[in-house]
């Protein structure tokens, strides 16, 4: 009897040749629709280690899973084959199996810096992933094994294997320092032989100074002096 929910019914019989002749049974008949059991999702489900997938029965009640659970849904994090048996008014049906495959994560990548992670503006740094392939750098999204960094930031690399599972490295912090303002150099030139050469550099907050000049002159003072000037001391003095 299609399109009728499970129910109790009486049967009325009518004579095909005389419609006025009818009889009603004195026995109650129980009409039961077939029971179905379906798991969503079906087939094979791939997940990554540490993740879970929810398997759900098509029936709100009467469920017994192959794990022993009796809820409509179960959360699965282990490889295996799962079925559910649905029972309704004494009739049962068992679903087709759903196979869950747990795929391993790739090895956690490491980042190797090709030099100091702190450098001055205008410089650069190469960061290298330990994985030869499957890389995705953050930020930026580059997929090469190496990247060239010229800006401050926190960099990490995510590696994805053929199963679509990913692992992410620990972050590497890069600091790019701004260049100081170039100092202005001056002197008391011209200076007579035997006199004193006074070199002067403008003040730059937090800076150190390095002077070079003729006759092998060097100094780390901001404002160095040279006594007993000689002809070979004449020339150009620079400060950085």
Whether the Cβ atoms of residue 178 and residue 165 lie closer than 8 Å to each other: no
Whether the Cβ atoms of residue 41 and residue 68 lie closer than 8 Å to each other: no
Q: What's the farthest any 2 CA atoms get from each other in the chain?
A: 148
Q: 95 forms bridges with which residues in the sheet?
A: none
Q: Where are the alpha helices (DSSP H) in 20-73?
A: none
Concatenating the DSSP letter of every residue in 148-181 gives EE-S-EEEEEEEE-TTS-EEEPPPEEEEEEPPPP
**Residue position matching structure tokens 């011209």:** 190
* pLDDT tens, residue order, the chain (240 aa): 444 444 545 556 666 676 666 666 666 656 566 899 999 999 999 999 999 999 999 999 999 999 999 999 999 999 999 999 999 988 999 999 999 999 999 999 999 999 999 999 999 999 999 999 999 999 999 999 999 999 999 999 999 999 999 999 999 999 999 988 889 999 999 999 999 999 999 999 888 999 999 999 999 999 999 999 999 999 999 999
The pairing of strands 118-120 and 172-177 is parallel
Distance of CA 183 to the CA centre of its chain: 45
Coil, strand or helix at 100: strand
Which pair of structure tokens corresponds to residue 205?
């907050």
Give the span between the Cα atoms of 205 and 227, in whole angstroms: 28
* Nearest CA among 38, 34, 79, 80 for reference residue 56: 38
Give the span between the Cα atoms of 212 and 191, in whole angstroms: 18
């Amino acid at each position: 009897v299609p399109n009728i929910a499970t129910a109790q019914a009486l049967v009325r019989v009518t004579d095909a040749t005389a419609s006025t002749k009818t009889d009603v049974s004195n026995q109650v008949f129980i009409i039961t629709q077939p029971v179905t059991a379906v798991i969503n999702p079906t087939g094979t489900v791939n997940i990554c280690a540490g993740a879970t997938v929810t398997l759900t029965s098509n029936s709100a009640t009467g469920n017994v899973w192959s794990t022993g659970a009796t809820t409509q849904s179960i959360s699965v994090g282990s490889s295996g084959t799962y079925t559910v048996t649905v029972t309704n008014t004494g009739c049962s049906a068992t679903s087709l199996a759903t196979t869950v495959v747990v795929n391993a994560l790739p090895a956690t990548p490491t980042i190797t810096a090709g030099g100091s992670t702190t450098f001055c503006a205008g410089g650069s740094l190469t960061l290298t992933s330990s994985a030869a392939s499957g890389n995705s750098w953050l930020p930026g999204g580059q997929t090469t094994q190496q990247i060239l960094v010229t800006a401050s930031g926190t960099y990490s690399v995510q590696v994805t294997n053929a199963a679509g599972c990913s692992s992410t490295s620990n972050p590497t912090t890069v600091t790019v320092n701004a260049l100081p303002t170039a100092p202005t150099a001056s002197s008391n030139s011209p200076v007579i032989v035997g006199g004193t050469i006074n070199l002067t550099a403008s003040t730059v907050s937090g800076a150190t100074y390095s002077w070079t000049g003729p006759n092998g002159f060097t100094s780390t003072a901001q404002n160095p002096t040279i006594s007993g000037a000689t002809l070979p001391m004449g020339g150009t003095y620079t400060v950085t």
